[in-house]
Amino acid sequence: MGPYAFAGGTAVVTGAASGIGEALAGQLAARGSHLVLLDRDAGRLEAVAARIRAASPALRVATTVVDLADDEATARLAAALVAEHPETTLLVNNAGVALGGRFDQVTLEEFDWVMAVNFRAVVRLTHALLPVLKTHPGAHVVNVSSVFGIFAPAGQAAYAASKFAVRGFSESLRHELAQDGIGVTVVHPGGIRTRIAESARVGSGVSVAEYEQGRKQFAKLLRMPPEDAAARIVAAIERRRPRLLIGWSATVPDLLVRLLPGSYWRLIARRAAPATPPSV
């Protein structure tokens, strides 16, 4: 499979109003991709689109406001994307939400909210757009997992479950689509400075003091600018890399899990905050 061709293609990017999604939108546009940008934050999304339109007036930049936690709305969106953007050559499932708290501190409704956005939306959008992507040889899919799709810390049962699911789904999908000439990259970012931590929900059973302590501890790890992470993702797309680890906070846990699959937590528990929101 040759390198992915950005120029002239159309990229659908979820979670495009901030963080990695916003940075990806700008960098894909700089490489000549038309854009379909999705997010639940209408104001931020339109601001991102306006900047890209001003910088690249020759490109088509469409926006759609959607809450991916709403399964029915996501299904309608998927059908609309197929009908309105049959030229799509790249799907980037980047949107994600976080929930702080041990499993016994969150409700099943809160758990399901995370799964809806982080996993079910990925599945729905990918399933709907696959027939479109298959009409364009050399198309590509990017699914953003997390370092918590590599190891599972205490206090992140919902988030880790969703991101491990994205990882498994992506790997299987990659093997299935190879014969169709479609690439699949699963991304595992580590400590990226995005808004997901500040906008994370807190489990109903988590005390404010417990959450704040964990949040402050974890914030120390959020060092990489989203623009740097986006640049690595764009390079991985072009090169058709199957798997991308971003930052030492992803590569080190990956190594620990490989070496100590049953006992890695003993080495990193001291640096983990049980109710802390994840980095990406």
Cα–Cα distance for residue pair 25/28, rounded to 1 Å:
5
Give me the DSSP letters along 205-261. Answer: T--HHHHHHHHHHHHTT--B-HHHHHHHHHHHHHHT-SEEEESHHHHHHHHHHHH-T
- Report the percentage of the chain scoring pLDDT > 70: 88
Task: Give the range of the structural domain holding residue 82, as residue numbers without chain letter.
Answer: 10-271
Q: What is the mean pLDDT of the chain?
A: 90
Token pair belonging to 246: 């971003």
**pLDDT score recorded for residue 249:** 87
Q: Catalytic residue, from 4, 159, 211, 264: name it.
A: 159
Q: Phi, psi (5° rounding) for residue 37?
A: -105, 130
Is 264 assigned a catalytic role? no
Reported as a single tens digit per residue, the pLDDT across 184-196 is 999 999 876 565 6
Token pair belonging to 210: 């417990």
Cα–Cα distance for residue pair 121/99, rounded to 1 Å:
17
Decide if 277 is inside a domain: no
Evaluate whether 279 touches 214 at the Cβ level (below 8 Å): no
Reported as a single tens digit per residue, the pLDDT across 1-54 is 899 999 999 999 999 999 999 999 999 999 999 999 999 999 999 999 999 999
Reported as a single tens digit per residue, the pLDDT across 116-171 is 999 999 999 999 999 999 999 999 999 999 999 999 988 899 999 999 999 999 99
The number of C-alpha atoms within 13 Å of 114 and in the hemisphere containing its C-beta is: 31
Helices and strands (H and E) in the chain: how many? 10, 9
Q: In this structure, what DSSP letter does residue 192 have?
A: B
Helix (H, G, I), strand (E, B) or coil at 138: coil
Residue type for 221, please? Answer: L
Q: H helices within 120-181, ranges in order?
A: 121-134, 157-177
Residue 276 has pLDDT above 50, yes or no: no
**pLDDT score recorded for residue 17:** 96
Decide if 33 is inside a domain: yes
Q: Tell if the pTM clears 0.85, that is, is over it.
A: yes
**pLDDT score recorded for residue 213:** 63
**Residue range 55-69: average pLDDT?**
97
Evaluate whether 253 touches 271 at the Cβ level (below 8 Å): no
Decide if 89 is inside a domain: yes
Cα–Cα distance for residue pair 265/129, rounded to 1 Å:
38
Cα–Cα distance for residue pair 181/1, rounded to 1 Å:
6
Bigger pLDDT: 217 vs 130: 130
Alpha carbon distances (Å) from 89 to 101, 137, 168: 38, 9, 22
**Residue range 91-103: average pLDDT?**
93
Decide if 279 is inside a domain: no
**Residue range 174-189: average pLDDT?**
96
Domain count across the chain: 1
**pLDDT score recorded for residue 201:** 72
**Residue range 211-231: average pLDDT?**
73
Token pair belonging to 110: 């809160």
Bigger pLDDT: 166 vs 271: 166
CATH number of the domain where residue 43 is located: 3.40.50.720
Decide if 233 is inside a domain: yes
Decide if 179 is inside a domain: yes
Cα–Cα distance for residue pair 114/133, rounded to 1 Å:
27
Residue 273 has pLDDT above 50, yes or no: no
Cα angle at 21 between 108 and 117, to 5 degrees? 15
**Residue range 246-271: average pLDDT?**
87
**pLDDT score recorded for residue 202:** 77
Cα angle at 179 between 173 and 184, to 5 degrees? 35
Token pair belonging to 190: 């580590």
**Residue range 239-262: average pLDDT?**
93
